[in-house]
Amino acid sequence: MIDPQRWLRLETQRGLRASACCLLAAIVAACGGTAEVVRPLTARGDVDAIFAEYDRPGSPGCALGVIQNGDFVYRRGYGSAHLEHAVPLDADSVLKVASVSKQFTGMLILLLDERGDLALDDELGTWIPEMADLGPITINHLLHHTSGLRDYLTLTRLAGYREHDYFTAADVLDLMSRQRELNFAPGDEYLYSNTGYVLLALIAERATERSFADLAHDLIFTPLGMESTQFDVDPMAVVPRRAQGYATSPEGFVVSMTDLPIVGDGGLLTTVNDLLVWDRNFYENRLGKGDPELIRRWVTPGRLNGGGGATLTGGGTYGAGIIVDEYRGVGRVRHSGSYVGYRGNISRYPAVRATVITLCNAAGADAPGLADSVADVFLDTVLAPAAADSAPAPEAPASDDFTVAVSQLRQYQGRYVSRELGVTYVLRIRDGRLVASLPDRWETVLSALGDGIFVDPATDVRIRFARNSAQRVDGFLLDAERVVGLRFERIG
């Protein structure tokens, strides 16, 4: 029988990076409880120094857990869970983990598929008829970010919502029901979209006639004994040991929390200690029917219409709420998350049965980067040599090489409405520059990139003006992070 750890190491050593990521999905189930016990990890450096910025009174920070063979080999909190009461952050502190939540949503959908409550080939309209018919979008597409649906967080920002504004899942559904175009045809591409995971939570509720939070509690958290873990559907509820989120301001730290009752794409509250049993389940599945095939399906990447796997920028593939890639030559199963004052990351290295967890309540914390630094310390003997740092090429100025005369800018002045967002942007000339605004919300000076193409340098939002048959500007298309080709019509 082939030793899966040796197999993966040989593949990565040969430099077959894409192959290793695909192979990892196939060997996870084979690892099960029979994988070879690897040499225990020991820290080959100063772990605490990595968190020195937060390891002091009066600072929020991070809770760290390093796991091998199902047990902690290092566990510590740095900083405070609650600054006002000087409560230390530790492995029992409850933190919101943002998009780290997606792996639990993905697992829950697979469990409902296993039970026959839904099928991954079900089309979106079967469960959410309120949505316009935008093409044959399936649950599989939602799981793997290949649906083409625009990201609701990007859309709400474009509609003038601020990070701390309140809206509900019903508001998200209303926004998405007004969408009339996709970023791309379903299955043609990969583009990360939080929308798909909010809709997955809704589908789970409609398929079972139960709340998403209760489903996760009964099908995942209770079977595994994750007693401090829950989806945060009632942000006003008292949660024992909840760590408050913080951001920085010129005056120091300020509270940075959200009261959004939206789950699926995020919304999970958990602890480092609870994530230990979640990590154990990767190797010995206890969920559903207890079939190790469930884990293999969880990490299996989505497929594109052309037959290939959906590849992430920078490498790796996306499973059912989980990323499979590699770090310094060793296969990795991971996901990170960030929202308001919370940052989180779980990085698992199946070849050595090791996992690094970093959960932070400081908006400035780089949870994935901190986890990589911890892996450098603990996994130094199995990781490939670190690549030499190379200075990134300086970015060219967005607009300084392309100027537009005021006489030419006048053709773009006017009011432009997006029926899908329900907002009107105003474009006007000021001091020889084209200025865009959403009245009472924001204003920005645009820079020209080319003929009829402008960008907001602060956000990289780009607009491309369109003309009618008479060559009059009658609208524009907007591209922003996870939104492509959003139409605005000129109304004045």
Task: Look at the chain and report how many structural domains it folds into.
Answer: 2
Of 246, 237, 233, which is closest to residue 202 (Cα–Cα)?
233
**What pLDDT, on the 0 to 100 scale, is given for residue 34?**
37
Look at 393 and 73; give whichever has higher pLDDT: 73
pLDDT reading at 148 higher than 80: yes
Determine the Cα–Cα distance for residues 94 and 171; give it in Å rounded to an integer.
27
Mean pLDDT in residue range 245-259: 95
Q: How many residues belong to the chain?
A: 492
Label residue 37 by pLDDT band (50, 70, 90). Answer: very low
**To the nearest whole percent, how much of the chain has pLDDT over 70?**
89
**To the nearest whole percent, how much of the chain has pLDDT over 90?**
82
Regarding whether 273 and 417 lie in a shared domain, the answer is: no
Mean pLDDT in residue range 157-183: 92
**What pLDDT, on the 0 to 100 scale, is given for residue 2?**
32
Other CB atoms within 10 Å distance of the CB of residue 42? 12
- Sign of the torsion formed by the C-alpha atoms of 212, 215, 220 and 225: positive
Regarding whether 241 and 142 lie in a shared domain, the answer is: yes
Is residue 210 included in any domain, yes or no? yes
What token pair was written down for 3?
């030793």
pLDDT reading at 32 higher than 80: no
Regarding whether 435 and 373 lie in a shared domain, the answer is: no
| Boundary-marking domain end, from 329, 358, 378 | 378
Other CB atoms within 10 Å distance of the CB of residue 19? 12
Regarding whether 290 and 425 lie in a shared domain, the answer is: no
Q: What are phi and psi of 168, to 5 degrees?
A: -120, 175
Is residue 385 included in any domain, yes or no? no
Residue 451's domain is classified under what CATH number? 2.40.128.50
Regarding whether 481 and 353 lie in a shared domain, the answer is: no
Regarding whether 169 and 299 lie in a shared domain, the answer is: yes
Is residue 337 included in any domain, yes or no? yes
**What pLDDT, on the 0 to 100 scale, is given for residue 306?**
87
Is residue 140 included in any domain, yes or no? yes
Residue 22's domain is classified under what CATH number? 3.40.710.10
**What pLDDT, on the 0 to 100 scale, is given for residue 168?**
93
Is residue 399 included in any domain, yes or no? no
Mean pLDDT in residue range 43-57: 92
Regarding whether 474 and 374 lie in a shared domain, the answer is: no
Q: Which residues are catalytic?
A: 99
What radius of gyration do the chain's Cα atoms show?
A: 24
Is residue 202 included in any domain, yes or no? yes
pLDDT reading at 371 higher than 80: yes
**What pLDDT, on the 0 to 100 scale, is given for residue 388?**
76
pLDDT reading at 113 higher than 90: yes
**Domain region containing 47:** 4-378
**What pLDDT, on the 0 to 100 scale, is given for residue 22?**
41
**What pLDDT, on the 0 to 100 scale, is given for residue 4?**
35
Is residue 395 included in any domain, yes or no? no
Label residue 390 by pLDDT band (50, 70, 90). Answer: low
Mean pLDDT in residue range 119-128: 98
Regarding whether 419 and 340 lie in a shared domain, the answer is: no
Q: Which residues contact 144 (CB under 8 A, 6 or more apart)?
A: 190, 301, 302, 303, 310, 318, 319, 320
Is residue 336 included in any domain, yes or no? yes
**What pLDDT, on the 0 to 100 scale, is given for residue 28?**
46
**What pLDDT, on the 0 to 100 scale, is given for residue 11?**
36
Label residue 120 by pLDDT band (50, 70, 90). Answer: very high
Label residue 1 by pLDDT band (50, 70, 90). Answer: very low
Convert the chain into a string of H (helix), E (strand) and C (coil).
Answer: CCCHHHHHHHHHHCCCHHHHHHHHHHHHHHHCCCCCCCCCCCCCCCHHHHCCCCCCCCCECEEEEEEECCEEEEEEEECEEEHHHCEECCCCCEEECHHHHHHHHHHHHHHHHHHCCCCCCCEHHHHCCCCCCCCCCEHHHHHHCCCCCCCHHHHHHHCCCCCCCCCCHHHHHHHHHCCCCCCCCCCCCCCCCHHHHHHHHHHHHHHHCCCHHHHHHHHHHHHHCCCCCEECCCCCCCCCCECCCEEEECCEEEECCCCCCCCCCCCEEECHHHHHHHHHHHHCCCCCCCCCHHHHHHHCCCECCCCCECECCCCCEECCCCEEEEECCEEEEEEEEEECCEEEEEEEEHHHCEEEEEEECECCCCHHHHHHHHHHHHCCCCCCCCCCCCCCCCCCCCCCCCCCCHHHHHHHCEEEEECCCCEEEEEEEECCEEEEEECCCEEEECEEEECCEEEECCCCEEEEEEECCCCCEEEEEEEECCEEEEEEEECC
- Calculate the average pLDDT of the chain: 90
**What pLDDT, on the 0 to 100 scale, is given for residue 14?**
36
| Boundary-marking domain end, from 378, 397, 422 | 378
Label residue 24 by pLDDT band (50, 70, 90). Answer: very low
pLDDT reading at 201 higher than 90: yes
pLDDT single digits (tens) 266-289: 999 999 999 999 999 999 999 999
pLDDT reading at 354 higher than 90: yes
**What pLDDT, on the 0 to 100 scale, is given for residue 369?**
98
Determine the Cα–Cα distance for residues 150 and 153; give it in Å rounded to an integer.
9
Regarding whether 253 and 115 lie in a shared domain, the answer is: yes
Regarding whether 433 and 294 lie in a shared domain, the answer is: no
**What pLDDT, on the 0 to 100 scale, is given for residue 386?**
87
Label residue 31 by pLDDT band (50, 70, 90). Answer: very low
End-to-end CA separation in angstroms for the chain? 72
pLDDT single digits (tens) 70-103: 999 999 999 999 999 999 999 999 999 999 999 9
Regarding whether 321 and 426 lie in a shared domain, the answer is: no
pLDDT reading at 360 higher than 90: yes
Regarding whether 424 and 373 lie in a shared domain, the answer is: no
pTM of the model: 0.90
| Boundary-marking domain end, from 326, 361, 378 | 378
pLDDT single digits (tens) 461-474: 999 999 999 999 99
pLDDT reading at 6 higher than 50: no
